[in-house]
Amino acid sequence: KSVIVINGPNLNLLGKREPEIYGSTTLKDIEEQTRAHGDKIGIETVFFQSNSEGDLVDAIQRAGASHSGIILNAAAYTHTSVALHDAIKACGLPVVEVHLSNIFSREEFRHHSYISPVAAGVICGFGAKGYGLALDALADLID
């Protein structure tokens, strides 16, 4: 079982970026924690981050070839990207949408997600821990 964890724009800055909202955990920390959790529950984890919408679409398109599920924090593209919505629909894999922050307690423009209608489920507001929760949820889905 293999899951790809895809992170979108500005998440490479985690740890330095608005720590009062996103915490002090870096993306590298998140990847290490998620990999360790995956090892424990018998799921291989692979990581990809990009600031470019097209590269994220490419990663979702490619995922079907070697993975059985996707954890996706599309960051700001969550709220704008029909292209990511369509890519998820086309790829046929279960996707768990993750956000570190609770997008519903923040600005109005973060309340709508193009990802949610095509995701198996959404985890938001639990910080870095959300990735581990998403992995547990996906593990059941791809059983």
Q: Is 51 in the site for ligand DQA (CB under 6 A)?
A: no
Given the complex with ligand DQA, which of 11 and 139 has the nearer CB atom?
11
Given the complex with ligand DQA, which of 66 and 105 has the nearer CB atom?
105
Among positions 103-142, residues that touch ligand DQA (CB under 6 A) are 103, 110
How far is residue 56 from each of residues 6, 16, 29, 41, 87, measured CA to CA in Å? 8, 23, 21, 26, 9
CB of 134 to ligand DQA, least distance (A): 12
- Asked if residue 52 lies in contact with residue 12, where contact means CB atoms within 8 angstroms, the answer is no
Q: Which residues are annotated as catalytic? A: 22, 99
Q: Is 26 in the site for ligand DQA (CB under 6 A)?
A: no
Q: Is 10 in the site for ligand DQA (CB under 6 A)?
A: yes
Q: Is 96 in the site for ligand DQA (CB under 6 A)?
A: no
Name the residue number minimizing CB distance to ligand DQA.
75
Distance CA 41, CA 11 (A): 25
Contact positions vs ligand DQA (CB under 6 A): 10, 73, 75-76, 78, 99-101, 103, 110
